[in-house]
């Protein structure tokens, strides 16, 4: 369990006391039950402050205490504090290029409902946003929760963002979304304020908050789908860059004479190894129309052609990630997105290229693994964003 990754200072107009309460609640939401001493360590707050605030939060019914189970020496084990029964729910909305997912979560991080619809997100923002708004209603019904119980909404989009104005930061990545402010658009459809971030950033947050990466402060999350992006957690904080466009590794040029990419450049990584490119590469060897799901199935059945193409894609991605590792010296590279379902050949390809092209000391320091949350990482990250931006408890 670590201190909250999103913010380390009060928001404008937020009192220090409100900020400290939020910090405690975030630490418990992300890491589960903890003693007062552990909370002091995790948040950097003094023992006196933790004691005063947890007493206050328990009096308000927001925290519950259970007796500790491990004895330290002869003393009584310290009580463990956890979030009490959910005081509200959060909504996460994650757009991919070809699908939208919606999840409802409670404030302890439990997922109450999950919905997914396939559609062409890139070409029509209106249809995608209308669909997402409908799905939010369906998911709330599935969770048995009224709209009035929603305390925060988080949203991810598969494109760089202009964080100053809340628009997509590129005119070409999502052509149907130019000049729109996605958070405002969704917010007006569902009648709730919406917090916005890049989808790979949200995947990084979710994977890092997941049990296995709790102690990883430097992590690169790769989203490999119809587009390729990355989310960077550096020193325990999400790194968004000066304008919100960090981590766009899909548009690193691999071949100067390659095909023109949707970003306007030529021979980008994304033109060579996105799920669309991989399906197109394998299609001539198959009679029926292939999907990326078929490719994953073929790899699982040891089909030599599919395994070869996916392994080569892994090495090409790994060649780029090796340079990123030399720059950033991460402890973990987590591979998410639809192609991550292809598993071993993809991960082995990325691992092999990092071992070959990163500095030995850098390569030794980094573990490479498939996303533990699969292709739900982004929508679960949207729930974390929602909880962090939730209206005050």
Q: Which of residues 205 and 263 has its CB atom nearest to Zn ion in the complex?
A: 263
Nearer of residues 49 and 172 to Zn ion, judged by Cβ: 172
Nearest approach, Cβ of residue 386 and Zn ion (Å): 30
Interface size with Zn ion, residues (CB under 5 A): 5
Nearer to Zn ion, 268 or 332 (CB): 268
Q: Provide the sign of the torsion angle of the four alpha carbons 30, 35, 41, 43, taken in this order.
A: positive
Contact window for Zn ion (CB under 5 A) among 25-33, 52-60, 223-231, 245-253: 245-253
- Which part of the chain contacts Zn ion (CB under 5 A), choosing from 89-97, 157-165, 215-223, 244-252? 244-252
The minimum distance between CB 180 and Zn ion, in angstroms, equals: 21
Least separation in angstroms between CB 107 and Zn ion? 39
The tokens 């409902």 sit on which residue?
A: 113
Cα–Cα dist 264/1, whole Å: 42
Please spell the DSSP secondary structure of 245-296, one letter per residue.
-TT-GGGSBS-TTSPBPTTS-BSBHHHHHSHHHHHHHHGGG-SSPP-HHHHH
Q: Which is nearer to Zn ion, 92 or 229 (CB)?
A: 229
Length of the chain: 393
| Cβ proximity to Zn ion, 176 vs 258, nearer residue | 258
Site stretch for Zn ion (CB under 5 A), options 145-153, 243-251, 353-361, 369-377: 243-251
Strand ranges in 172-266 using DSSP code E only, listed in sequence order: 195-198, 219-224, 228-234, 237-238
Q: What's the min distance (Å) between Cβ of 238 and Zn ion?
A: 23
Q: Which is nearer to Zn ion, 204 or 261 (CB)?
A: 261
Nearer to Zn ion, 261 or 320 (CB): 261
Tokens 């009192």 correspond to 15
- Tokens 């989808």 belong to residue: 199
Q: Decide: is 268 part of the binding site for Zn ion (CB under 5 A).
A: yes
What's the closest the beta carbon of residue 260 comes to Zn ion, in angstroms?
9
Q: Which stretch binds Zn ion (CB under 5 A): 23-31, 82-90, 268-276, 288-296?
A: 268-276
Structure tokens, 113: 């409902």
Least distance to Zn ion, CB of residue 353, Å: 20
Do 268 and 261 touch, CB atoms closer than 8 A? yes
**Residue 61 Cβ vs Zn ion, minimum distance, rounded to whole Å:** 51
User: Which tokens belong to 216?
Assistant: 């990883």
Whole-Å CA distances, 320 to 141, 233, 254, 358, 364: 44, 18, 9, 10, 17
Nearest to Zn ion of 22, 262 (CB atom): 262
Cα angle for residues 245, 249, 297 (degrees, 5° grid) = 125
CB of 207 to Zn ion, least distance (A): 25
**How far is Cα 210 from Cα 214, in angstroms, rounded to an integer?**
6
* Distance (Å) of CA 290 to CA 67, 118, 279, 298, 309: 55, 16, 6, 10, 14
Q: Whole-number minimum distance, CB 229 to Zn ion, in Å?
A: 11
Per CB under 5 A, contacts with Zn ion among 248-267 are 251, 261, 263, 265
Q: Rounded to 5 degrees, what are φ and ψ at 64?
A: -125, 145
Helices and strands: H and E segment counts in the chain: 13, 14
Cβ distance to Zn ion smaller for residue 51 or 253 = 253
Shortest CA distance to 216 belongs to which of 206, 207, 208?
208
97 binds Zn ion (CB under 5 A): no
**Residues making contact with Zn ion (CB under 5 A):** 251, 261, 263, 265, 268
């Amino acid at each position: 369990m670590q201190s909250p990754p999103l913010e380390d200072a009060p928001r404008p107009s937020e009192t220090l006391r409100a900020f400290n309460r939020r910090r405690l609640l975030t630490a418990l939401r992300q890491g589960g039950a903890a003693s007062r001493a552990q909370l002091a360590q995790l948040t950097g707050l003094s023992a006196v402050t933790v004691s005063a605030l947890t007493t206050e939060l328990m009096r308000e019914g927001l925290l519950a205490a259970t007796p500790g189970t491990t004895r330290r020496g002869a003393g009584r084990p310290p009580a463990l504090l956890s979030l009490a029964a959910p005081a509200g729910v959060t909504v996460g909305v994650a757009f991919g290029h070809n699908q939208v997912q919606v999840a409802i979560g409670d404030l302890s991080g439990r997922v109450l409902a999950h919905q997914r619809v396939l559609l062409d997100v890139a070409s029509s923002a209106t249809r995608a946003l209308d669909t997402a708004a409908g799905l939010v209603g369906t998911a709330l019904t599935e969770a048995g929760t009224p709209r009035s119980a929603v305390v925060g909404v988080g949203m991810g989009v598969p494109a760089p963002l202009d964080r100053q104005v809340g628009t997509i930061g590129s005119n070409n990545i999502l052509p149907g979304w130019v000049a729109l402010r996605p958070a405002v658009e969704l917010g007006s459809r569902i009648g709730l304020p919406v917090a916005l971030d890049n989808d790979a950033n949200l995947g990084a947050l979710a994977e890092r908050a997941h049990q296995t990466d709790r102690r990883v402060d430097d992590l690169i999350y790769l989203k490999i789908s119809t587009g390729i992006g990355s989310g960077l957690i550096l020193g325990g904080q999400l790194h968004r860059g000066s304008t919100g466009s960090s981590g766009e590794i899909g548009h690193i040029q691999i071949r100067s004479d390659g095909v023109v990419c949707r970003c306007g450049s030529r021979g980008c990584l994304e033109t060579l190894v996105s799920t669309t490119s991989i399906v197109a590469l394998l299609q001539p060897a198959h009679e029926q129309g292939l999907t990326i799901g078929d490719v994953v199935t073929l790899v699982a059945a040891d089909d030599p052609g599919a395994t070869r193409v996916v392994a080569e894609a892994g090495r090409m991605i790994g060649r780029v990630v090796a340079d990123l590792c030399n720059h950033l010296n991460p402890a973990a590279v987590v591979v998410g997105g639809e192609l991550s379902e292809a598993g071993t050949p993809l991960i082995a390809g990325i691992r092999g290229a990092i071992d070959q092209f990163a500095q030995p000391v850098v390569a030794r320091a980094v573990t490479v693994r498939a996303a533990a949350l699969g292709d739900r990482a982004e929508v679960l990250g949207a729930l974390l964003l929602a909880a962090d931006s939730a209206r005050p408890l």
